[in-house]
Amino acid sequence: MIDIGHTAVALPLAAAIAAWLITGRAWKMALYWCLMLVAGLSLVALSKIAFLGWDAGIQSIDFKALSGHALCATAVVPVLFFVVLQSAPAGWRRAGVLFGLWVSAGLGLLLVHFEYHTASEVIASFILGSVISLGYIRIAMTSPAPRVTWWTVPLCIGAFALIFILKPSSINHRLVDVALYLSGRDEPYQWTGKLICEARVPLKR
């Protein structure tokens, strides 16, 4: 379940959503989706670089950096259900979005349980991810639904496969190097947790 929030899975899913919108000629919604998700991921990267290079955490609440897993899951999964259920009754779409948030919250609990992140890190990331997903959904509800054609699904699968093959999680591995380069330090700040592991190698579950 934790792997749902891993960038190796979440970003291909996000690409599939974008492909779905593009094939339905929902150009503006595709742009909104990409910009909102990139903004959230940028905040995650900046928070990690800030801690690794400058110890910019909040010690009183045990907050070191935002959780990429929690943010990706909360931003992507509810939107995925919303898009897939676009032809379903409104009640089903609401249920799908709520289920997506529930799945994301469960993933957050697992992250805390297995000590990959602290509660403060997961809660902050869950809130930010919810702002992205629910903000996008609110905008999408006022726009026409994308038109589904026979080639929509194959193109979405292709977009997922392409991004998956490109291994977007490899970007995470470079955050430590970027933090050290910008801060001029020889070693990153450490703590009792597993964010360093998350930044260096993909999560194996």
pLDDT tier at 203, thresholds 50, 70, 90: very low
Query: Does residue 193 carry a pLDDT above 90?
Result: no
Q: 33 or 1: which carries more pLDDT confidence?
A: 33
Report yes or no on 205 lying in a domain.
Answer: no
How confident is the model at residue 201, as a pLDDT? 37
- Could you tell me if residue 18 is inside a domain? yes
pLDDT exceeding 90 applies to what percent of the chain? Answer: 61
Report DSSP state, residue 169.
G
Spatial separation of the C-alpha atoms in residues 10 and 73, rounded to whole Å: 7
d(CA 60, CA 3): 29
Q: Is the pLDDT of residue 118 over 90?
A: yes
Whole-angstrom distance, CA of residue 13 vs CA of residue 1 = 15
* Average pLDDT taken over every residue of the chain: 87
- Looking at the structure of the chain, the number of domains it has is 1
Closest CA to 95 of 110, 87, 105, 85: 85
Distance CA 6, CA 204 (A): 10
Does some domain include residue 81?
Answer: yes
Q: Is residue 96, in this structure, part of any structural domain at all?
A: yes
Looking at the chain, the whole-number percentage of residues with pLDDT higher than 70 is 89
| pLDDT confidence tier of residue 119, bands split at 50, 70 and 90 | very high
Range of the domain at 164: 2-200
In tens, the pLDDT along 23-50 reads 998 999 999 999 999 999 999 999 999 9
Average pLDDT over residues 134-144: 93
Contact 80, 132 (CB under 8 A): no
Q: Is residue 193 part of a domain?
A: yes
The pLDDT value given to residue 191: 58
Higher pLDDT, 189 or 196: 189
> Picking from 58-62, 70-74, 139-143, 191-195, which range would have the lowest pLDDT averaged per residue?
191-195
**pTM of structure:** 0.87
Provide the pLDDT confidence category of residue 158 given band limits of 50, 70 and 90. very high
Rounded Cα distance between 155 and 177, Å, is 35
pLDDT of 194 over the 60 cut:
no
